[in-house]
Every structure is written in C-alpha cells, then in structure tokens.
C-alpha cells in the first residue's frame, strides 16, 4: 500500500481516483482549487465550470445517469450552488454525488467566514468532515459509498487547515470499479413539480431518519476514553487540537457532522462530569445537542471568529476570556510590479471614478496607493451594485460610476449582470470595464470559458466577451491594451463616462505571471493545427 505525504486536497483527488469517480467539476476557489487539478494530474476526468451552480448541475446530471461525480468549490461558492443543491436533496441520485465545500475560518483568502454546516442542515443532506489528509481520503471514499447507498448527494466539508495541510496518507489498493453509467428514466423522482416534490420531501426526511439511526453505530464518531472529569466533543481538525491541548480528556470526535449521532453524544456527555463542545465557526453542534436536551458547555462567543488552534482550545477549556495575543501583523499582498492593472487603477483614480469592484487579483487595487475600489461584495456583484449606484445617485455622481470585473469572474456571474445592464439601463448609461488578463490569476492561473482552453490547457471553443456584449446590444464596445496604450485607455474611459449610453471596455493584457505559459499553450495548439481557437492571436 502506497504511503505518501499529501495535502487534504490531493487526498480527496486520490480518493476520487480510487473511488472510481467518472467526472470531477467545479469552480476554482481557495482553498479547494487543487482538488480538481490533482484529480486531473492523476488521470481523472476533470473540468472547470463557469460557476459553482453549473458545476453542481453537471455533477447532478452525471449522477442521474448512474455515474460517480465530485463537485468542488469554496464555501461562498456553495451559496451560488445552493439553488440546485436543495432540490438535489429531493431528487436524490442514481450514482453518487459528493459536493466538496471548503470553508475558510479566519478568512485567509475570502470575503466572509460562513459555516457550510448550516447548508447540510438547511438542505437536509449528510455531511462528513475530515481532520487531516488521511481522513480526507477515507471520508471522501466513504462519502461516495454513502451517496450511492442512500441515493443522496453527500457534502464533504473541508477547512483551509485540512485542504492545505500535508500529512501522511496510505491509499487503499483496489477499490471496486465503478459501474458504467446508464440512464434509467424516473420522472417522478427527477422532475420537481409540486405533485412530485411533496412525496420527494417525505422520502428525503425518511432517508435522513434512517441515516441518523445508522450514524449512531457507524464508525463515524470516535470515542476516546479518558478522564471522567472532562469530556470534549469536537469535529474536524479541531479534534486534533483538542487531543494535543488536553490529552487527558475523554473525546468524542465527530466525522459525520450531519445528522448528528445524538444518542451516542448523550451517552458520552453522561459519562463525564464536564462536557464541552469545541467547534470552529458557528455553534452548530452545541446548539443541536442542547436542543436535544443534553447539557453541554459551548465555547465563548469570542471564539466564533477566526481559526481555532491549540492555544485557543486551551483557553476555551480554561474559560479564559483575557485578551488574546494579536496575530503577527504581516505585509499585505499587493499587485505584482508589472501587473496590467496598474494603469487601469491610476486612470480610475485620476478620473475620480466611483468604482464598483469584484473578486480577483484586481481587488488588491483597493489598497494604497490606489484605494481604487469602493465596493466589493461577491463574485459578479460589481455590475448589479454599479447599476444600483447609477440609478439613484444625482446625475453628476452617477456619471462617475464604473463597474470593474475580471474575465473569469465575468463568466462566473458577471454575465447575468450584463443582461440586467441592458435590460434596465440607468438614465446616465453605465460603463463596465472587463479586466481580461487571460486567466483566473488569483487562484493560481486556472483556465475558464473565456481563455479557450480546458482545465488541462487543451484548446476548446473560446467565449468572446466583446462579442457577447455586442450581441446583447451594448451601444459602445471597445477593446484596449492598458499597458501598450495607457493614454488611449484614459481617453476612451473619459469619453465613455460622458455619454448617457451603455459601454463595455475590455482592457486586455495577459497576467504577467501567466503570460509565458499562455504563449506555450498557444504554440502547442498552433503546432497541432487546432481549428477550435481562431482568436488565439488576440490574447
């Protein structure tokens, strides 16, 4: 059996391989991005979707056909995928569907620290949570089995510390080969008109009930006997912090975090004098356990913020509420020196624009010296927010509003905002600047539908941002290179701001970190005489 040092993300990819996954799909989002890249490198079939909702729908379709599918995203991506997720709980699956959601307690690279366990409860889906890479491997395999057995999508919750930590993983040898997908018609299960959805909801609750009963005895809650004076209930990597901080304590480590094995928890709590629930993020377990009438102690509200670690766990156990030491104040990230966004930000600043921004490298333009972004809410939100500002501000200010968005984010959810812009144009018009650097730079240079290459950098059809804008009827559509012609960019932007019309400016220049690779892929495609990439020379 192979033993290797793997990150949690790589371990999930290995499980997808060994568990016979037919298709992996997702949208890049730190810290989940490496799962699909590693799955592809191992020889799995992996692809990037334009956004998480589409990824989940593709995975669901594959699972309807009897295949095994894995869909990956970060926690905020689960918000985008939530719509199909809730209904997928009703329809169930024929093969297996595992949705990996990577949470980011402490917000190493995210705009909020929401707790995805709430989605498992709200959607009524089982959720597993690993503590290290070995468990990430084992629980990803278990999630595939559970999904197949209960005919339900299964959520696998990861956190930054599990995704990006490396530890030793022993892979199992042969796992049973996955059956070849076959479509069997089942309209009443898969078409959720109310008449079919009502019984489907009852079926879901029944499945959850039997799953809960199974979970009471399944090896997904590990009871470590220790002192009778202190017992701790913990999940994920937090359980490891607890073992280190309080080696003498009794510990119940929960791997199945929804539904909870409440009877086992009741017995555990009764076996110790003091029982503390220690969990990162929301008090999900503590609340559920207390609601079941089991008296436990939770963590103080101040520990709701950020990651837990060994010293913080010691504090929780000691009920120590004294001020915690400040984290080292490091140097914030910044735009690369020769980044094509520099001239864009200096122009926006010079023209005194009100900038509705979005998520990507260019979000770093919010920092000095530019401080060039006034809003940044969610993927694709720059369009809607910019339009809202335009609708209500006095004309003079409305004319200064610009929405800026990156190419990958534009394809993700910006496109819907462009449709809104055309449909409900503000009286002053609006200006959208698409910063097209030819890659998804922030997460590590992934491809997207606008680059004309698949996850493996192989040529495929290429979406044209300017073509789309023209097709939707935007009055002014221009493409400029902000590095080659910064003065031209400034003239163009100033001119467009003064017109009461809709304008889209595509500021196109490859990310300097990605440029060499992009050239290499293009060369390879040209050498292969690829016909699918007619726009290659414009990149």
Partner 1 sequence: MSDVVNVVFAGLGGQGVIKASDILADAAFRAGRDVKKAEVHGMSQRGGSVTSDVRFGREVLSPMVPRGEAHYLVVLSPSEVAVTRPLLGKAGVLIPPDLVDEAALPNRKSLNVALLGALARHLDLPDEHWLAAIRAALPERLHEVNERAFRLGREAAGRAG
The residues that touch ligand SF4, with contacts defined as CB under 6 A, are: 335-336, 339, 341, 361, 437, 441, 511-513
Token digits of residue 450: 């606008």
Q: Give 285 or 339: the residue with its C-beta nearer to ligand SF4.
A: 339
Pairing of strands 46-48, 23-26: parallel
512 binds, among partner 1, ligand SF4, none (CB under 5 to 8 A by kind): ligand SF4
What's the DSSP call for residue 321?
Answer: -
Length reported for the chain: 539
Query: Which residue number, 132 or 358, has a Cβ lying nearer to partner 1?
Result: 132
Whichever of 175 and 336 has its CB closer to ligand SF4, that residue is 336
Residue 142 interacts with, from partner 1, ligand SF4, none (CB under 5-8 Å by kind) = none
Among ligand SF4, partner 1, none, residue 134 binds (CB under 5-8 Å by kind): none
CB of 335 to ligand SF4, least distance (A): 4
Residue 118 interacts with which of ligand SF4, partner 1, none, CB < 5 to 8 Å by class = none
List the Cα angle 369/374/376 in 5-degree steps.
110
Interacting partner of 165 out of partner 1, ligand SF4, none (Cβ under 5 to 8 A depending on kind): partner 1
Q: Which is nearer to partner 1, 9 or 407 (CB)?
A: 9
User: What is the spatial distance between Cα 94 and Cα 63, in angstroms, rounded to a whole number?
Assistant: 6
* Shortest Å distance, C-beta 490 to ligand SF4: 19
Rounded to an integer, what distance in angstroms lies between the CA atom of residue 314 and that of residue 246?
7
Take residue 117 and report the two structure tokens written for it. Answer: 């366990």
What residues make contact with partner 1 under the rule CB under 8 A? 5, 30-31, 106, 108-109, 132, 160-161, 164-168, 237, 240-241, 243-244, 247, 307, 309-311, 325, 328-336, 361, 364, 442-444
Task: Look at residues 493, 401, 428, 460 and name the one whose alpha carbon lies nearest to residue 47.
Answer: 460
- C-alpha 205/C-alpha 212 separation (Å) is 10
Place of tokens 């001119």: 495
Cα of first residue to Cα of last residue in the chain, in angstroms, is 46
- Choose among ligand SF4, partner 1, none what residue 329 binds, the Cβ cut-off being 5 to 8 Å by kind: partner 1
Minimum distance from residue 33 beta carbon to partner 1 (Å): 9
- Cα angle, residue 8 at apex, residues 363 and 10 outer, rounded to 5°: 90
C-beta of residue 400 within 8 angstroms of C-beta of residue 367: no
| Residue 30 touches which member of partner 1, ligand SF4, none, C-beta under 5-8 Å by kind | partner 1
Q: Which is nearer to partner 1, 31 or 59 (CB)?
A: 31
CA-nearest of 98, 77, 93 to 13 is: 98
Nearer to ligand SF4 by Cβ, of 113 and 407: the residue is 407
């Amino acid at each position: 059996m192979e033993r290797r040092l793997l990150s949690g993300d790589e371990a999930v990819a290995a499980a997808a391989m060994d568990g016979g996954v037919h298709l992996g799909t997702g949208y890049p989002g730190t810290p989940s991005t490496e799962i699909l890249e590693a799955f592809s490198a191992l020889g799995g079939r992996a692809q990037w979707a334009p956004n998480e909702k589409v990824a989940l729908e593709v995975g669901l379709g594959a699972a309807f056909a009897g295949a095994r599918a894995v869909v990956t995203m970060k926690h905020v991506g689960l918000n985008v995928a939530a719509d199909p997720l809730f209904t997928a709980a009703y329809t169930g699956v024929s093969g297996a569907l595992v949705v990996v959601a990577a949470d980011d307690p402490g917000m190493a690279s995210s705009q909020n620290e929401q707790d995805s366990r709430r989605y498992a409860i709200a959607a009524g889906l089982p959720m597993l949570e690993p503590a290290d890479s070995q468990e990430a491997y084992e629980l990803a395999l278990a999630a595939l089995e559970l999904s197949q057995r209960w005919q339900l999508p299964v959520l696998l919750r990861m956190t930054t510390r599990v995704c990006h930590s490396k530890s030793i993983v022993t892979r199992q040898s042969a796992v049973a080969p996955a059956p070849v997908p076959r479509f069997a018609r089942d309209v009443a299960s898969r078409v959720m008109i109310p008449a079919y959805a009502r019984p489907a909801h009852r079926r879901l609750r029944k499945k959850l009930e039997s799953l809960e009963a199974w979970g009471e005895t399944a090896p997904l809650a590990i009871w470590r006997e220790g002192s009778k004076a202190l017992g701790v209930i913990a999940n994920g990597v937090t359980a490891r912090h607890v073992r280190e901080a309080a080696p003498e304590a009794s510990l119940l480590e929960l791997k199945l975090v929804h539904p909870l094995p409440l009877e086992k928890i009741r017995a555990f709590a009764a076996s110790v004098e003091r029982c503390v629930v220690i969990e990162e993020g929301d008090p999900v377990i503590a609340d559920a356990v207390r609601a079941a009438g089991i008296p436990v102690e939770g963590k103080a509200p101040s520990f709701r913020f950020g990651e837990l670690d060994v010293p913080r766990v010691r504090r929780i156990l000691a009920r120590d509420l004294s001020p915690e030491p400040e984290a080292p104040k490091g140097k914030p990230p910044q735009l690369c020196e020769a980044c094509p966004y520099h001239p864009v930000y200096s122009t926006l600043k010079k023209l005194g624009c009100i900038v509705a921004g979005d998520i990507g490298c260019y979000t770093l333009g919010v920092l000095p010296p530019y401080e060039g972004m006034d809003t940044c809410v969610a993927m694709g939100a720059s369009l809607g927010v910019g339009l809202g500002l335009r609708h209500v501000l006095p004309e003079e200010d409305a004319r200064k509003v610009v929405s800026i968005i990156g190419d990958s984010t534009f394809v993700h959810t910006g496109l819907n905002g462009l449709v809104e812009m055309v449909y409900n144009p503000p009286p002053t018009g609006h200006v959208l600047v698409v910063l097209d650097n030819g890659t998804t730079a922030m997460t590590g240079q992934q491809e997207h539908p606008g680059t004309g290459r698949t996850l493996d950098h192989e040529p495929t059809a290429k979406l044209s941002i300017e073509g789309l804008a023209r097709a939707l009827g935007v009055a002014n559509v221009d493409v400029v290179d902000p590095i080659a012609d910064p003065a031209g960019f400034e003239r163009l932007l100033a001119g467009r701001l003064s017109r009461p019309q809709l304008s889209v400016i595509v500021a196109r220049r490859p990310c300097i970190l990605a440029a060499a690779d992009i050239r290499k892929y293009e060369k390879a495609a040209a050498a292969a005489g690829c016909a699918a990439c007619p726009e290659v020379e414009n990149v």
